[in-house]
Amino acid sequence: MIDLIQMIVNGIAVGSSYALMGLAMVIIYKTSEVPNFAQGEMALISSFFAMMLLTSFNMSVYPAFVLTFVFAVILGCFLEFAILRRAKEPNVLGMIVITIGIEMILLGFVSWKFGAEQKTMPFPIGPYDSFIIGDIFISKLEVLTLVAALLLMSVLYLFFKYSKLGLAMKATQQNSVAAQIVGIRTNRILMMTWGISSLVGAVAGLLISPTIMHPFMMWDPMLKGFAAAVMGGMTSLPGVVIAAYMLGIIENLFGGYISIEFKTVVAFVIIVFVLCVRPSGLFARHYVKKV
Amino acid sequence: MTNLLEVKNIETYYDLVYALRGVSFSVKTGSITAILGNNGAGKSTILKTIMGLIEDQPDKGSIEFEDAPIQHWDTDKIVRKGIAYVPEGREVFEELTVHEHLIMGAYIREDPSGVKKDIEQVYRYFPVLKQRTNQWAGTLSGGEQQMLAIGRALMLSPRLLILDEPSLGLSPILVKEIFSIIKEINLKGTTILLVEQNANMALSISSTGLILENGRFVMKGESKDLLEDKDVKEFYLGIKSETSAKGYQRWKRKKAWR
C-alpha cells in the first residue's frame, strides 16, 4: 500500500514537469498551430543562463532568477521575430521543421559553451530535501514544481478565457485574416506568445535543473510534455495538465509493477491508444470545420 | 460632399496575373457605392487591395482615405484609420462565442461605455445574435455568421464600411433583411462601399454604381440610371429586351464590353 501511494506521489511529481513543458507547447500551438519542438532547448538555454549568472557572476538567487525569466521572454520573442517571421509563405510543416532546426542550434550552442558533462545547479532547495509524511517521502522541489504547474495553469487559463489579449491570441490562431481586419497586430501577438511560452518553459527548466543538468536534460520532459499536450487535445490548458499527471502516474505504476525497462515507452503507447480512440485528444472541445 | 475614399489608377497583380488594370473611383462621404461585376472581374481584389491584404500591392496607383494615402500600409493600421471590412464568405472565429466576436470587433477601441452601447446596437440590428450570445460562431448558420461578420465590423464604429458580397449564399428573405439593415447603417452616418453579384438589390439601395469587367471599370453612373440601362438590365438584372421577330435577322448584343 505504501509502495502504491509512494509511486502515485512520485508520478504526480514527475507529471508536474511534464505539465509545465506541455503548457509551454500548448501556448504556442494555440496561436500558430505549430508544435514547437525547440521548446525544450529554449528552456535548456534559460537554465544554463541562470547557472551562469549564479556561478560565474556570483549573483544571488532571486535577482538571477528574475533576470533568467526576462532572458527567457526576450529569447522567445527574438526567435519568433528573427527566424519564424522571416519564413516566406509559411505552412505548418515548414514551421515545424524550422523549430527542429532551432532546437539543434540551441542544443549545439549549449554543448559548445558549457560542455556536455553533468553540472550542479546552485538551487536554494536541494534535490534531496524532503518532507516525510507517515512513510511517504515527498521532496520539497517536487512540491514546488507541483505548485508552479498548477499556478501557471490557472493564471494562463484565466488569461486566455477573460483577458482581451488572451482572446486576441485565440482569435489569431483561429483566423489570422479576420484577426487582422479587426485591427489585431497578428505578428506582435505571435511574438508575445513565444515570449510567454518561453517563460513557462524556463520555469520548468529551472525546476528540473537541481536534479539533472546537462545539455540533454530537457529531452525527456519535452517529449513527455508534448505527449501530454497531444493527449490533452493540444489546445486545452487544463487538459494538458491532467494528461501530464495521468502520464506521470501511469508511467510510475508501470515502472513499479510491470517493467522498469519499458517505463519511458509507456507514455507513447498511451498516446497511440488515445489517438486511436479520441483523435482530437481527451479534453479538446473542437469545432469540426464544415466543408 | 467630399470624397471619403479616393482610389486612383491602382494596378494589382497576383504573382503574374494582372488582376486590376488601372482602377479609379471615389466614394462620397455618407453615400452607398456599389461595385458590380461578373465572377473573376476583380471586385474582391479591389477591396483586398484597399485593405492591404495582398502583399506588396497595389503595384501602381494610390489609395487615399480622408486625403491621406494609405496604400502599402499594414492592415491593422488601415483598420485603425476607421475602415471596417466584412470579407467574402464571412471569416468568423469558429471557436469564439458571438459575444467574444463583438469584443474582438472593438479590439482597438479604448472606450468601454461606447463599446457596450455598440454591442446593444448590434443586437438591435440582429436580434438573432442576442439569442446566440454564448454560442460558438462555428455552430451558427450561414446567415447568422454573415450577420455576425457585419456586427463585428460595426463594433469598430467605422467611418467607412466595406462589404464583400453580403448576400452570398443567403436566402432571398435574408438578403432583403440584410440590405435593409445596410441601408439603416448608412442612414445613421456610415459611408458604405459594397461589392455585389446581386445587382438588383445593390443598385436599389446604393446611390452610385460602378460596373467592373476584367479588371477595368466599364460603366459608372447614378444607381437609378443604371437600373434603367439596357445593357445592365440584360446582363446583370436578367431582363431580356429581345423580342422574337420572325423573318428578321436576330441581333444579339455583345455579352461583354472590352
HEC readout, chain A: CHHHHHHHHHHHHHHHHHHHHHHHHHHHHHHHCCCCCCHHHHHHHHHHHHHHHHHCCCCCHHHHHHHHHHHHHHHHHHHHHHHHCCCCCCCHHHHHHHHHHHHHHHHHHHHHHHCCCCCCCCCCCCCCCEEEECCEEEEHHHHHHHHHHHHHHHHHHHHHHHCHHHHHHHHHHHCHHHHHHCCCCHHHHHHHHHHHHHHHHHHHHHHHCCCCCCCCCCHHHHHHHHHHHHHHCCCCHHHHHHHHHHHHHHHHHHHHHCCCCCCCCHHHHHHHHHHHHCCCCCCCCCCCCCC
Mean pLDDT computed over every residue of chain A:
84
- Per-residue pLDDT tens for B33-71? 888 887 777 888 888 888 888 777 777 888 888 878 888
Mean pLDDT for A20-24 is 89
User: Exposure of A1 by Cβ count < 10 A (0-12 exposed, 13-18 middle, 19+ buried)?
Assistant: exposed
Note the pLDDT of residue A290.
38
Mean pLDDT for B68-87 is 85
Tell me if chain B has a CB within 8 Å of the CB of A190. no
Residues B208, B183: one domain? yes
Distance, CA of B219 to CA of B241 (rounded, Å):
19
Q: How confident is the model at residue A74 (pLDDT cuts 50, 70, 90)?
A: very high
Report angle CA B114, B119, B122 to the nearest 5 degrees: 125
Please state the φ and ψ torsions of residue B48, each to the nearest 5 degrees: -65, -35
What residues contact residue B84 under an 8 Å CB cut-off, 6+ apart? Answer: A181, B153, B154, B156, B158, B160, B161, B162
Distance, CA of B63 to CA of B26 (rounded, Å):
10
**Choice between B228 and A197, residue whose per-residue pLDDT is larger:** A197
Note the pLDDT of residue B126.
86
Note the pLDDT of residue B112.
82
Question: Largest Cα–Cα distance of chain B, in whole Å?
Answer: 73
Tell me if chain B has a CB within 8 Å of the CB of A161. no
Domain end position, chosen among B157, B189, B210: B157
Partner residue opposite A182 with nearest CB, options B105, B136, B138: B105
Distance, CA of A65 to CA of A250 (rounded, Å):
33
Residues B172, B247: one domain? yes
Cross-chain Cβ contact B75/A168 below 8 Å: no
Residues B181, B145: one domain? no
- Per-residue pLDDT tens for B196-226? 888 788 888 888 888 888 877 877 777 777 7
Q: What percent of chain A has pLDDT over 90?
A: 8
Instruction: Check pLDDT > 90 for residue A71.
Output: yes
Instruction: Report the 10 Å Cβ neighbour count for A250.
Output: 17
pTM for the model stands at 0.80
Domain end position, chosen among B127, B157, B187: B157
What residues contact residue A237 under an 8 Å CB cut-off, 6+ apart? Answer: A23, A26, A153, A156, A157, A160
- The H or E element spanning position B35 is strand B32-37
Residues B74, B123: one domain? no
Residues B173, B192: one domain? yes
Distance, CA of A176 to CA of B143 (rounded, Å):
22
Note the pLDDT of residue A198.
92
A168 CA to chain B: closest CA distance, Å? 7
CATH number of the CATH domain containing B204: 3.40.50.300
Partner residue opposite A174 with nearest CB, options B76, B95, B108: B95
Distance, CA of A52 to CA of A58 (rounded, Å):
9
Residue that has been written with the C-alpha cell 446583370 in this structure: B236
Domain end position, chosen among B134, B157, B180: B157
Q: What percent of chain A has pLDDT over 70?
A: 96
Give chain B positions within 8 Å (CB) of A183.
76, 79-80, 107-108, 156
Residues B192, B205: one domain? yes
Instruction: Check pLDDT > 50 for residue A213.
Output: yes
Angle at which helix B142-154 crosses helix B172-187, to 10 degrees, equals 10
Q: What percent of chain B has pLDDT over 90?
A: 0
Mean pLDDT for B89-111 is 83
Residue that has been written with the C-alpha cell 461578373 in this structure: B38
Nearest residue on chain B to A188, alpha-carbon basis: B76
The answer to whether the CB of B51 falls within 8 A of the CB of A181 is: yes
Instruction: Check pLDDT > 60 for residue B250.
Output: no
Note the pLDDT of residue A286.
57
Classified as helix, coil or strand, A116 is coil
Residues B126, B52: one domain? no
User: B119-138 b/e with 16+ CB inside 10 Å = b?
Assistant: bebbbebbeebeebeeebbb
Q: How many CB pairs under 8 A join A and B?
A: 73
User: Which range, of A15-24, A53-62, A261-270, B239-248, averages the lowest pLDDT?
Assistant: B239-248
Partner residue opposite A181 with nearest CB, options B85, B95, B139: B85
Residue that has been written with the C-alpha cell 514551421 in this structure: A95
Distance, CA of A100 to CA of A104 (rounded, Å):
6
Instruction: Check pLDDT > 80 for residue B16.
Output: no
Pairing of strands A136-139, A130-133: antiparallel
Note the pLDDT of residue A73.
93
Instruction: Check pLDDT > 60 for residue B249.
Output: no
Q: How confident is the model at residue A78 (pLDDT cuts 50, 70, 90)?
A: very high
Domain containing B150 equals 90-157
Note the pLDDT of residue B1.
55
- Per-residue pLDDT tens for A225-264? 888 888 887 777 888 888 899 888 988 888 888 877 888 7
Instruction: Check pLDDT > 50 for residue A77.
Output: yes
Instruction: Check pLDDT > 80 for residue B166.
Output: yes
User: Which range, of A117-126, A139-148, B173-182, averages the lowest pLDDT?
Assistant: A117-126
**Tally of domains in chain B:** 2
Tell me if chain B has a CB within 8 Å of the CB of A168. yes
Residues B78, B165: one domain? yes
Note the pLDDT of residue B254.
55
- Per-residue pLDDT tens for A137-185? 888 888 888 888 889 888 988 988 888 888 888 888 888 888 888 888 8
Partner residue opposite A183 with nearest CB, options B100, B107, B138: B107
Give chain A positions within 8 Å (CB) of B146.
none
Note the pLDDT of residue A69.
92
Classified as helix, coil or strand, B145 is helix
Residues B198, B246: one domain? yes
Give chain A positions within 8 Å (CB) of B135.
none
C-alpha dihedral (A129, A130, A131, A137), degrees to nearest 10: -160
Give chain B positions within 8 Å (CB) of A171.
93, 96, 104
Instruction: Check pLDDT > 70 for residue A284.
Output: no
What residues contact residue A47 under an 8 Å CB cut-off, 6+ apart? Answer: A68, A121, A202, A205, A206, A208, A209, A213, A217
Residues B55, B138: one domain? no
Note the pLDDT of residue B253.
57
**Cell of residue B111, nine digits:** 472606450
Q: Please choose, from the candidates B25, B3, B27, the residue with its C-alpha nearest in 3D space to the C-alpha of residue B219.
A: B25
Cross-chain Cβ contact B104/A287 below 8 Å: no
Cross-chain Cβ contact A289/B94 below 8 Å: yes
Residues B138, B190: one domain? no
Residues B198, B74: one domain? yes
Cross-chain Cβ contact A181/B75 below 8 Å: yes
The answer to whether the CB of A43 falls within 8 A of the CB of A29 is: no
Pairing of strands B17-28, B3-14: antiparallel
The answer to whether the CB of B7 falls within 8 A of the CB of B51 is: no
Beta sheet of B160-164, edge-to-edge order: B83-86, B160-164, B191-196, B32-37, B208-213, B216-222
Cis peptide before B58 (omega within 30 of 0): yes
Note the pLDDT of residue A289.
44
Calculate the alpha carbon distances from B9 to A238, B6, B20, B48, B73 in Å: 54, 10, 9, 15, 17
